[in-house]
Amino acid sequence: MTHPVRTPVVAADGGLVRFDLAELLSGTVTSMRIEVTDASAEPWLTRLCGPENALAALDGEVAVPVVPELAGLALLLWARRWWPASAVLGIVSLDPALLDVEAAVATAAVEDVAEGMLDGFEATPGELFDSAADALLAAAGPVAGEVRGLCERLAVWFDERDDVVRAEAAAELAGRLESLAPSQRSYALAAGTPQAAAGAGVLAEGRASVDWARVPPGVLDAADDTVAWRIVTAEGAARLRVEVAGAFADAALTAFATRDGEVFAEVPLALGVGGFAGSVELDERSARLVAERDVHIGVEIGAEPVFITTPDDRAAVVALVRAREGLPLSVRTVAERAAAGAADEEF
């Protein structure tokens, strides 16, 4: 099965709508694949792509012409989870509040096109707006006018559905954004360098890469080889220290050290200057094991995922995102335009 990092998907009520990542990021998407998982999808399928295609989809899977509203939502959902922000690679971070408010508008647009399609969806327009609201004023900066327009659209959409509280909140935000001056934002912490304790003897050391699927989105630098680890002995004790260079946000992270694939130590990581770091003392058995020759030591950051991302997956995504930088800003997301505007302010 194709990893979701390579195949953007919208999980609809009774079906899945998939897109080709290269087409979606390059703005050349012309079709989408609909896989029906439950007959409850028939009403919105018919509204979305007509009776003939709906019948074909009910038999399993069908390719249909792209619906722009769905493609826009798929892109935003993918970016919220998989955007490879990296100071090392020169790929800017996208503000989660801006992604959320734009996703709220996109979700509302899909509901207007195919009512009922997103029943039970991962987040409603209201929930997405709620998650973004408190941070929008600080995030809007260079795109305050565009964000104001998104809030105005949401205010109307909420009002039409008698969601008075959210309609008023969105309208109030739009008013406050009208006079907001652009502000410079910081997108990444500087990369740190692991340091061994003075007088410590190094039993083993190495580097590792973060599997994007194991960590929350928007937290760590997406570049490979950002994890440095070493096992040192000092005063008769062996300690494992792990440092992860580059961070965009705080999170509860743990590093798992393995010997020939089996976990022998867990290292809680804390956010500091330049990234995350942590260390633990190893018990005698673990210290003896890692001192043996021909032993493969690995370090993984985060929990075990359903799907892993391989180095090839990550390299392919990075290449596609870099190519996207050549697109006109007008066809990119509001969050991308904000990041580009903030980067321009720094020079």
What is the tens place of the pLDDT at every residue in 42-58? 888 888 888 877 777 77
Do 180 and 192 have their domain in common? no
Do 175 and 250 have their domain in common? no
Evaluate whether residue 288 is within a structural domain: yes
pLDDT in tens, 248-280: 889 999 999 887 778 888 899 999 988 999 999
Instruction: Return the minimum-mean-pLDDT range out of 57-61, 144-148, 182-186, 202-206.
Output: 182-186
Do 167 and 20 have their domain in common? no
What is the per-residue pLDDT for 301? 80
Do 157 and 264 have their domain in common? no
Do 58 and 100 have their domain in common? no
Last residue of a domain, one of 138, 161, 184: 184
Do 194 and 342 have their domain in common? yes
Evaluate whether residue 329 is within a structural domain: yes
pTM of the model: 0.86
Evaluate whether residue 90 is within a structural domain: no
Evaluate whether residue 89 is within a structural domain: no
Do 195 and 317 have their domain in common? yes
Evaluate whether residue 87 is within a structural domain: no
Closest CA to 103 of 335, 329, 331: 335
Do 164 and 211 have their domain in common? no
Last residue of a domain, one of 161, 184, 207: 184
pLDDT band (50, 70, 90) for residue 143:
very high
- Beta strand 31-36 pairing with 15-18: antiparallel
Beta bridge partners of 258: 263, 298
Range of the domain at 113: 96-184
Instruction: Return the minimum-mean-pLDDT range out of 29-43, 69-83, 87-101.
Output: 29-43
State the chain's mean pLDDT as an integer. Answer: 85
Res 295 pLDDT > 70? no
Do 239 and 176 have their domain in common? no
Res 199 pLDDT > 90? no
Evaluate whether residue 304 is within a structural domain: yes
pLDDT band (50, 70, 90) for residue 221:
very high
Evaluate whether residue 91 is within a structural domain: no
Cβ-based burial of 180 (10 A; exposed 0-12, middle 13-18, buried ≥19) = middle
Number of structural domains in the chain:
3
Q: Which two tokens stand for residue 88?
A: 């090392």
pLDDT in tens, 178-188: 876 444 333 33
Do 200 and 299 have their domain in common? yes
Beta bridge partners of 220: 247
Evaluate whether residue 48 is within a structural domain: yes
% of the chain beyond a pLDDT of 90: 50
Last residue of a domain, one of 167, 184, 201: 184
φ and ψ of 234, to 5 deg: -155, 130
Do 71 and 127 have their domain in common? no
For the residues 131-144, what does the mean pLDDT come to? 91
Do 152 and 232 have their domain in common? no
